[in-house]
């Protein structure tokens, strides 16, 4: 019993001293571990002098660009005057039925009233000629204005007038007179931009004059602009809001690289999706406005488009950049120069055409009388043709030229889904007519939408490539078209190309 007690005592003693030793060891090790604090109390080390200098230099760059740019950025206030017809009892005031309105005519007499609609935008001084200063902005800001005033950053105001406006590029040029010496913007090179570049958007959003917002270039070459606009666009996350339209997008050198034009928004305000016209799209337009009062576009005389996958397969084309010629207008520069419907244009004067919009801009920026060399694919072979560019007519005149389009039909391959929808047998081969241009040769010949063209001059047509080849071979002589309509094989009368 005594030995058991001794053994128990030893065991208790060992356990006690082991606990004490372990506790001491933990205290010793803990003293060597890094100090830890609760997340809410974490404190970062203060930046060193080098880091502070870097941040200050970055901040000073923004200060410098803003200070140099604001004096040549302007707020544009406009008024558009419209006239509406009114009658004595048609203005919504019921007491006029009994007492009349001395400012209107007798009962039942229609009078004309003027209504003034104010508008707001931005712009910047782009050129000086003596005491005349020119301001560039958007067409949707000032293109239809009857009254225009300009406010400078220092508070000075000037009455301005419209020099020229262009809807296709959404640009307008204003001018005003001043005996003061005013700064003029420096224009940069928008072709030298990269995604990630820092930029400032300057203007008068919601009337807050001389506002500056910062961001980066989010994307380049955006094509999804407003309907009818032929620009590509710079996308930026610099805040752009209503009233910024027409104002400059400025790089860190203080150069204008874009004109802020539109935003995508679900709230009415900026959500980081702003779009600017590249300044290189603007330079020639400004010169046209100053020298001629209007924009003179080059004209080729074709209807072009990008290639859907099915069309590319039927044409046996593997190219990913360029534009497809769907129509050629009779007696146009393209017709005279030897461009055919079905050609695929790859480049102009050695510059690659990215897509139909890019090709449209390249041709539009040419001057009437310029000679342009087109690299294209025809029947699987690359070749070049030289075309003398003419001046583009007005939009109304261009629309009236549709009856001169050749071949005057929009055709597509007979893909499986189309065959199923039309319940066509496999024996029926040809190209599907989606649209027929009014008053063209094909409409006169009797071709209708929904027809399937199966042959030209007795030669079988089974693909788009064969169709366009046949169209290119038709000269001034007579021809006829074989087609399939509602289960029947038919032929047009012989006809000549307009």
Sorted by where each begins, the domain ranges of the chain are 186-292, 298-402, 407-496
Q: Is the pLDDT of residue 100 over 50?
A: no
The whole-number average pLDDT for the span 132-148 is 94
Known catalytic membership, residue 140: yes
Structure confidence at residue 35 (pLDDT): 47
Spatial separation of the C-alpha atoms in residues 162 and 145, rounded to whole Å:
8
Alpha carbon distances (Å) from 69 to 74, 178, 184, 201, 474 = 10, 19, 9, 10, 59
**Predicted local distance difference test score (pLDDT) of residue 357:** 86
CATH code, residues 407-496: 2.30.42.10
Q: Residue 242: enclosing H or E segment and its boundaries?
A: none
Is 170 considered catalytic here?
Answer: yes
Token pair 């310029």 is found at 370
The answer to whether the Cα torsion of 251, 252, 254, 255 is positive or negative is negative
Q: Give the per-residue pLDDT at 5.
A: 52
Average pLDDT over residues 367-375: 93
Per-residue model confidence as pLDDT tens digits over 221-240: 887 777 778 888 999 999 99
Provide the pLDDT for residue 67. 95
Mean pLDDT along residues 165-176: 94
Active-site position among 77, 166, 170, 451 = 170
Task: Please tell me the distance from the alpha carbon of residue 84 to that of residue 115, in angstroms, as a whole number.
Answer: 8
pLDDT, residue 69, reads 95
pLDDT tens for 434-486 read 999 999 999 999 999 999 999 999 999 999 999 999 998 898 889 999 999 99
Per residue in 44-71, pLDDT (tens digit) is 667 788 878 888 888 899 999 999 999 9
User: What share of the chain in percent tops pLDDT 70?
Assistant: 86
Strand, coil or helix: what is 26?
helix
* Distance, CA of 182 to chain centre: 32
Which pairs from 428-431 meet CB under 8 Å and 24+ separation?
A: 428/452, 428/454, 428/484, 429/454, 429/460, 429/461, 429/462, 430/454, 430/455, 430/461, 430/462, 430/483, 430/484, 431/314, 431/461, 431/463, 431/464, 431/467
109: number of Cβ within 10 Å: 10
pLDDT score of 263: 87
Residue with tokens 């709230």: 267
Share of the chain above pLDDT 90, in %: 60
What is the pTM assigned to this prediction?
A: 0.75
pLDDT above 70: residue 379: yes
What pLDDT score was predicted for residue 13?
52
Mean pLDDT of the chain: 86
Structure tokens at 432: 């599907």
86 pLDDT band (50/70/90 cuts)?
low
In the set 69, 140, 211, 288, the catalytic residue is 140
Of the pLDDT bands very low, low, confident and very high (cuts 50, 70, 90), residue 413 is very high
> What one-character-per-residue DSSP string does 441-459 give?
HHHHHT--TT-EEEEETTE
Using an 8 Å Cβ cutoff, are 304 and 326 in contact? yes
Correct CATH for 186-292 of 2.60.120.260, 2.40.10.10, 3.40.50.10860, 3.40.50.150: 2.40.10.10
Pairing state between β 323-329 and 298-299:
unpaired
Q: Fill in the DSSP letter of residue 322.
A: S
Please name the fold of domain 298-402. Pdz3 Domain (2.30.42)
Q: Is the peptide bond before 339 cis (omega within 30 degrees of 0)?
A: no
Say which of 204, 245, 303, 482 is annotated catalytic.
245
250 - beta bridge partners?
Answer: 200, 256
CB 363 within 8 A of CB 298: yes
Assess whether pLDDT exceeds 50 at residue 417: yes
> Does the pLDDT at position 309 exceed 50?
yes
pLDDT at 21: 54
Q: For residues 257 and 35, what is the distance between their CA atoms, to the nearest angstrom?
A: 51
Instruction: Give the model's pLDDT for residue 7.
Output: 55
pLDDT value at position 109? 65
CATH topology match: 298-402 vs 407-496: yes
Beta bridge partners, 117, equal 80
Query: Is residue 32 pLDDT above 70, yes or no?
Result: no
């Amino acid at each position: 019993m005594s030995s058991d007690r001794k053994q128990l005592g030893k065991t208790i003693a060992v356990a006690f001293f082991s606990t004490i030793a372990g506790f001491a060891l933990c205290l010793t090790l803990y003293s060597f571990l890094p100090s830890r604090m609760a997340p809410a109390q974490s404190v970062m080390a203060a930046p060193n002098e080098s880091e502070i200098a870097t941040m200050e230099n970055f901040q000073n760059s923004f200060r410098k660009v803003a200070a140099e740019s604001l004096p040549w950025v302007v707020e544009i206030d406009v008024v558009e005057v419209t006239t509406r017809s009114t009658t004595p009892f048609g203005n919504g005031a019921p007491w006029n039925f009994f007492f009349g309105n001395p400012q209107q005519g007798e009962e039942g007499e229609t009078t004309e009233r003027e209504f003034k609609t104010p508008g707001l935008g931005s712009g910047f001084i782009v050129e000086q000629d003596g005491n005349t200063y020119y301001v560039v902005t958007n067409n949707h800001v000032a293109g239809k204005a009857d009254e225009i005033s300009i406010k400078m950053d220092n508070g000075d105001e000037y009455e301005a007038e419209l020099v020229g406006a262009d809807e296709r590029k959404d640009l307008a040029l204003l001018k005003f007179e001043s005996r003061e010496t005013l700064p003029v913007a420096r224009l940069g090179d928008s072709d030298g931009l990269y995604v990630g570049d820092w930029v400032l958007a300057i203007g008068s959003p919601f009337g807050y004059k001389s506002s500056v917002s910062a961001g980066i270039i989010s994307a380049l070459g955006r094509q999804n602009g407003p309907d009818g606009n032929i620009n590509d666009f710079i996308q930026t996350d610099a805040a752009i809001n209503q009233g910024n339209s027409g104002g400059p997008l400025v790089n860190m050198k203080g150069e204008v690289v874009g004109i802020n034009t539109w935003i995508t928004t679900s709230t009415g305000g900026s959500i980081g999706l702003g779009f600017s016209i590249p300044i290189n799209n603007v330079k020639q337009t400004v010169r046209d406005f100053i020298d001629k009062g209007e924009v003179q576009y080059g004209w080729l005389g074709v209807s072009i488009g990008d290639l859907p996958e099915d069309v590319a397969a039927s044409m046996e084309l593997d190219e990913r950049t360029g534009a497809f010629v769907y129509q050629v207008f009779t007696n146009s520069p393209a017709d005279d120069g030897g461009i055919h419907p079905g050609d695929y244009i790859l480049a102009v004067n050695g510059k690659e055409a990215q897509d139909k919009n890019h090709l449209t801009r390249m041709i539009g920026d040419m001057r009437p009388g310029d000679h342009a060399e087109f690299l294209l694919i025809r029947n699987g072979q690359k070749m070049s043709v030289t075309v003398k560019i003419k001046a583009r007519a007005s939009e109304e005149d261009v629309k009236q030229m549709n009856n001169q389009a050749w071949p005057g039909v929009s055709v597509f391959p007979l893909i499986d889904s189309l065959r199923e929808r039309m319940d066509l047998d496999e024996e029926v081969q040809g190209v599907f007519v989606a649209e027929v241009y009014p008053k063209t040769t094909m409409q006169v010949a009797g071709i209708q939408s929904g027809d399937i063209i199966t042959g030209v001059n007795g030669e079988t047509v089974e693909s788009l490539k064969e169709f366009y080849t046949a169209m290119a071979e038709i000269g001034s002589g007579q021809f006829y078209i074989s087609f399939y309509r509602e289960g029947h094989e038919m032929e047009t009368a012989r006809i000549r190309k307009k």
